[in-house]
Structures are given as C-alpha cells and as structure tokens.
Amino acid sequence: MSRPAFAADTEADPSESDAFVAAVLERMAAVLPPEDGPYPLHEPHIDGAAWSYVKDCLDSGWVSSVGEYVRWFEEKLVETTGAAHAVATVSGTAALHICMLLAGVQRDDEVLVPPLTFVASANAIHYCGAHPHFVDVEPVSLGVDPTALTAHLERIAEMRGDVCFNSVTGRPIRGLLVVHCFGHPARIAELAEVAARFNIVLIEDAAEALGTSAGNRSAGCHGKVAALSFNGNKTVTTGGGGAILTDDDELAELALHLTTTARVDDPFVLAHDMVAFNYRMPNLNAALGCAQLEQLPELLAAKRQLAARWREAFAGLGGLRFIDEPSWGKSNFWLNALSLDPPYATRRPQLLAALDAAGYHCRPFWTPLHRLPMYQDRPMASLQVADDLAARGFNLPSSAGLIRPGTLPIFDKNG
C-alpha cells in the first residue's frame, strides 16, 4: 500500500485535504472491508456461557439485587483485578458517586479532574455538592499530566494543617480523580506521589480500563477507591452496571451498605440507619457479567490484535498519529483513537462524514467538560492540551468482534 506523506506544518489546502481523506479511507478499508460493514464504534460480543447463566437466573426467579450471580461476579472481579474488594452497582456513574462519598468528598469541596472524559466524571462530583476543578492532560496517555498538576498546585494550593485548600476559592481540595482515558493507563505512580504530597485522596475512574495495567497492578488498584463500568459499550458488559474497587475493608463494608439503601442487617426489622442509595447491581445483569468475565482474556487479546492492525494501517501516513499505549503500562485498547495534525483539524468534520458514509462509525473525542454550560464557571488550570486534543482527535471502530472468525478460538463458531 502506498503511504503518501502530508504536510504537518502548513494549513492544508482543499485538494490536499481531499487526498488525505481518500488515504484515510484506503487504510480503513485495509483493516475493515467496507462491503462487510457498517462498523459500529463499539458493540458487545455476547458468547460463552451467557445464555445459560442468564437463563438460570430467569429460571430461579432471582433477578433483582439479591442473588448468587452478584456475589460470584464480585468474586470474579477481585480475581481479575487483584483488588481486595469489589462491590457491584447499577452503573459506572453510581460507582463513581459512591467513590466520592467513600473518599470523604463533602459539599463545597473541590475534586481535581481532567476535562477530557465522559461527563459522569464531573457529574459524580457535583452529586456530592462539590465542585470539579479541571486540570490538564498529557498527549501520550490522555490522562492527567503530573508535571502540569504539580505546577498548578504549587501556584494555588495552601496547606492548612493536613488539608489542602485552593487559595483562590478558599475551598478544600479533597480528591484527585484520575481517568484512564480510552483504556490507556494514566501516569498513576507519579500522580499518586503528587496526591500524597498535597494530602489529596487519589480516586481512579477506571470505567474504561478493565484489563488495563500500570506497572504491575491493574488499573483501579492504585488509589483509595476506584470505579468500573460495564455499560453496553464496554469491553465487558452487564447491559448496564458498574463496580467499586478498594483494598480497604471498612470502606468496602460501607460501600455495600450505601448501595443497598443502608438497610439494617436484621431479618425481622425493615429499617435503614442513614440516607443511602438503591445502587446494587441486579442478579440478572451480574449473570451476564460472569459469562463476560470468563471471556475477558480472549476479548482483550482480540482488541490488542485489532489495535495492532490499526497501528500498522496508519503507520507512515502523515497528518495524523495513532494514540498507542504508553511505555509504563498495558492498555486494554477500549477505544482506538487517532489524532490529526494541526493543519487537518479543521477537516475533521469532512473526514468523519466521509467515514460515516463509508460505514465506519467513528466519533470525535468528548467535548471537554469545562466547555459544557453547567461547568464553565468551575475552577480550572490552563487546559491547552485537553482543548487541543479534543479539537483534533477521533475514535475508530474498536469492537473485539471485529477480529474475523477463526482468528481467535473464542470467535470460531465451528471449533
């Protein structure tokens, strides 16, 4: 395949942009033939014991938030991640909300969070009456930049005893929410050091990062608490669902209590001892999740193989870069991503329209959270990198099932 280079330091003219779009389409077709499309951005692959587990759940009548599959799903998550405890919830957003409470986030606190993430990251902070405080990301992993964060805190942080305050707003900075964006591990070891220096609680948003690792630990096992998501578009799905991870025995017990409406553990008394939430995952969803976790190694292998194909297809094509896993960890490649060089950023709508017309359902990165109307007035550092990445990036079809049948045993229907 010819690989023309495109100018990366001048404004792209229309004819060159048309050629660039054609070149991108050519490389897309080399990985995913258009005649076999359309190709969704990310869809689940339901196989293995899913049908039998869900049918068993239906046959038993245990379909709500109590049942053996919920317990089994949590045990499998502990085994998969290495966390000491897992508490299954109805959604990743619910898990994030509880994580904030477990971290001690209170009304009028601030929580440091990147703007290049799904809106639930900021919403969970807002649910507590607290304020998202936006900090910039770095272009390798798309996660929080520890160097920029340190510089920002050195400018605005004020220690009063053992509590870090924002000297500009006068509010406590209670937590740092680290997002493993698109499944790529953030610089979590360095971020943990920054959080410890300023006595800020480290919380992980690992909603997209099941199967991701940083150093020798799974994503979600570095902070005080972490949230996972099992939405329909995640690598492992329960239809809708999430989980809280923690190594702290007391926090795990409190997480379970908070997610089950704080019901008193007494079979003869129907009472509750605090304001809490109906956030437990139903048994029916957990049954699907158990089957999905059994397939996780094969799903991850398929996604790595797909990422390798994207990487190879776009190697040598000027005007863009494939956002690869960083050197300090291993990505689950939840969503593969490309970043356009600056001259081609203005052509992203044209490129996305052409890709969609050809059956490739790509999407731009999220609108940065500080650009959303409800969060425009929140505290923020300089967010130049996040704004730049959001203006130039887009995601590629990333479903594990896009690896053709027979490539891996799990997808071979005849073997």
The answer to the question of residue 269 being in a domain is yes
Is residue 93 domain-shared with residue 202, that is, in the same domain? yes
Residue 382: CATH number of its domain: 3.90.1150.10
d(CA 373, CA 218): 35
* Residue-by-residue pLDDT tens, the chain, 415 positions: 344 444 444 455 555 778 999 999 999 999 999 999 999 999 999 988 999 999 999 988 878 777 899 999 999 999 999 999 999 999 999 999 999 999 999 999 999 999 999 999 999 999 999 999 999 999 999 999 999 999 999 999 999 999 999 999 999 999 999 999 999 999 999 999 999 999 999 999 999 999 999 999 999 999 999 999 999 999 999 999 999 999 999 999 999 999 999 998 888 888 999 999 999 999 999 999 999 999 999 999 999 999 999 999 999 999 999 999 999 999 999 999 999 999 899 999 999 999 999 999 999 999 999 999 999 999 999 999 999 999 999 999 999 999 854 443 333 333 2
pLDDT at 385: 98
319 SS3 class: coil
Is residue 113 domain-shared with residue 153, that is, in the same domain? yes
pLDDT tens per residue across span 10-64: 455 555 778 999 999 999 999 999 999 999 999 999 988 999 999 999 988 878 7
The answer to the question of residue 351 being in a domain is yes
Is residue 170 domain-shared with residue 274, that is, in the same domain? yes
Is residue 164 domain-shared with residue 190, that is, in the same domain? yes
Is residue 84 domain-shared with residue 206, that is, in the same domain? yes
pLDDT at 14: 57
The answer to the question of residue 1 being in a domain is no
pLDDT at 410: 37
d(CA 323, CA 194): 25
Which residues span the domain enclosing 23? Answer: 14-43+296-411
Residue 175: CATH number of its domain: 3.40.640.10
Is residue 267 domain-shared with residue 315, that is, in the same domain? no
pLDDT at 13: 59
The answer to the question of residue 2 being in a domain is no
The answer to the question of residue 3 being in a domain is no
Domain end, chosen from 270, 294, 318, is at 294
Q: For residue 312, what are the contacts with CB-CB under 8 A and spacing of at least 6?
A: none
The answer to the question of residue 238 being in a domain is yes
Is residue 383 domain-shared with residue 397, that is, in the same domain? yes
Is residue 98 domain-shared with residue 243, that is, in the same domain? yes
Q: Rg of the chain's alpha carbons, rounded to an integer?
A: 22
The answer to the question of residue 396 being in a domain is yes
Domain end, chosen from 294, 315, 344, is at 294
Is residue 192 domain-shared with residue 283, that is, in the same domain? yes
Residue among 177, 202, 159 nearest 112 (CA): 177
What dihedral angle (degrees, nearest 10) is formed by the CA atoms of 272, 276, 278, 279? -130
Look at the chain and report how many structural domains it folds into: 2
Is residue 349 domain-shared with residue 222, that is, in the same domain? no
Is residue 276 domain-shared with residue 164, that is, in the same domain? yes
d(CA 221, CA 214): 9
pLDDT at 64: 76
Domain end, chosen from 294, 323, 345, is at 294
Residue among 50, 90, 51 nearest 70 (CA): 90
The answer to the question of residue 288 being in a domain is yes
Give me the sign of the Cα torsion angle 93, 282, 78, 230. negative
Is residue 142 domain-shared with residue 287, that is, in the same domain? yes
